[in-house]
Chain A
């Protein structure tokens, strides 16, 4: 696909999802949009060829995750306090619809995670990456990713009242070539 056309199609079809994805990692709509824009700029600044818009979206997601993790380290205490205040304020205007409430609860729960924990958990549960793949994507050691995922799941379970385990998704190959 030609780059300009890929960019136009990606923005038209996937921009909303990319911002939502970044929102999980940044806990701020404004930072999420910044992260998406920076990721798009970096992706399209180099001559790259993507076979389809899915491949392009995957590439942009990796860039968003690494940028969000990096950008969050620079936040001041004041900024973090502001995020907390915004989260508290959202509690009073939370939508009644279950899906929105769940998403809102997730955003608030994610605010309690460190940026690295948030990135590792997001790559695990949104992108369905394995520990090894997450480690490669974020340039972290495998053991470090395991610790962040484990700690992140524990914090989310505590905040959301869930009972998610830490088992990696495994594709089971059945003799004869079928998978389940």
Chain B
């Protein structure tokens, strides 16, 4: 067998040059998209000038003129009204099977939404099931294709996206059983959140010198976009929306070694601030999830285990805890409220309390289960030859539902489910 250089060279030389017609088509498409992108960029720059976006020497961004510190940077001026770019009832005319349920109006903390393909009426639909904290199942309806993924669970509803290109996004409001279009501005953008009526876009922008991997986060306005931050290598895991839907956090690389924590809040104007700097690259941090409306949990692998950071995104202060662990294994999923955690391995998921004592176990023969945490409850998804079984471990008392002789909470036979937890707002009422 040849060495790697020869093997790769062989693979590289496989494709024949395009014929003239194909080459012309590629040049046409690329040229057209280049012109569109230049026009969009010009519009964005113009909009930024009107809104008075200040970029300060310390890396602090102020979008809201009312928050601007006169001593801290360029004076902000101009319009303060931000028109949301949500376009309900767009051209795509999405449809869904309406299933109004009063539960949607007041979702409960610690609930899970499970999305999985369903065969119905001769076609495939995206079926949505809610698992309440006590294990009760709520059929939340099914959405017709092409919507195949749940991107986020926001107070406004579930954000659904197509799996194909160009990606269409829609907001599924379960309480009214309606599906509204939320269409990104450009083909290379995808909607990742709806914050206070504003659509937040994630875009693969032009590559800068050196062609670094980056993803740009921006808020769509009526006639353009306002940039929030550029993410680095860990783009997917570095963008997150708080449970109350008012705070958006991303990690922006400073260099190859450090990353800034950028926080965008909507109240109702948009303010963007750098609240902290992580001393390692963004890619070193795994986002575990929100533990309150303002506190976000990260983990970083160390030589002997994992360090978990609870970052208060409103102040930039943080606390940390260490869990010993095997670096070859899966990151333990920590429940910050109890200090308990769940470790998924081939064959089972085991819950431990803060002292390392076993609380409960869900077996998963010949597989490594997926663990999703929501307020001291862990949902365990175990894939078997019969389908995916779901079970739940209560980390406060160690009780297990849906395993160890009990029938699974739910068995899904088509595809592997997407599971998302819902953390209710910490309402002072």
Contacts and interface: CB of A to CB of B under 8 A. Distances in A.
B10 A103 contact: yes
Contacts of B17: 12-13, 15-16
A111 interface: no
With most chain B CB atoms within 10 A of its CB, the pick from A24, A44, A45, A66 is A45
A38 B211 contact: no
A102 interface: yes
Interface stretch (A86-94, A154-162, A171-179): A154-162
B235 A70 contact: yes
A122 B188 contact: no
A44 B36 CA distance: 12
B207 A66 contact: yes
Given A37-B29, A41-B37, A45-B41, 17 more contacts: A8-B23, A11-B23, A11-B26, A15-B22, A16-B17, A17-B12, A20-B13, A20-B14, A20-B15, A39-B207, A42-B204, A43-B207, A63-B207, A102-B10, A103-B11, A139-B233, A141-B284
7 contacts: A4-B31, A38-B188, A40-B30, A41-B37, A62-B210, A106-B7, A162-B4
B138 interface: no
A78 B417 CA distance: 9
B23 to A, nearest CB: 5
A127 B5 CA distance: 10
B233 A138 contact: yes
B66 to A, nearest CB: 34
B236 interface: yes
Interface of A is mostly: helix
B163 interface: yes
A12 B211 contact: no
Interface string B206-237: 11001111110000000000000000110110
With most chain A CB atoms within 10 A of its CB, the pick from B7, B8, B34, B215 is B8
Contacts of B8: 24, 106, 122, 125-126
B11 A15 contact: no
B297 to A, nearest CB: 20
Contacts of A140: 233, 256, 281, 283
Given A23-B11, A45-B38, A100-B14, A141 B257 contact: yes
A38 B31 contact: no
Interface residues of B, number: 57
Interface in A119-143: 121-122, 125-126, 128, 135-141
A34 B188 CA distance: 11
Contacts of A15: 15, 17-18, 22-23, 26
Contact of A17 (B15, B204, B235): B15
A103 B14 contact: yes
Given A16-B16, A62-B207, A24 B11 contact: yes
Nearest to A61: B211
B149 A76 contact: yes
B429 interface: no
Contact of B416 (A17, A44, A77, A136): A77
B30 A70 contact: no
A67 interface: yes
A180 to B, nearest CB: 16
A82 to B, nearest CB: 11
A23 B211 CA distance: 19
B184 interface: no
A169 B30 CA distance: 36
A59 to B, nearest CB: 7
B25 to A, nearest CB: 9
A70 B14 contact: no
Nearest to A75: B163
Contact of B3 (A20, A100, A164): A164
With most chain A CB atoms within 10 A of its CB, the pick from B14, B17, B41, B149 is B14
Nearest to B20: A12
A90 to B, nearest CB: 13
Contact of A42 (B1, B18, B149, B206): B206
B416 A139 contact: no
Contact of A139 (B15, B188, B205, B212): B212
Contacts of A38: 188, 204
Contact of B18 (A12, A66, A160): A12
Contacts of A45: 34, 37-38, 41, 206
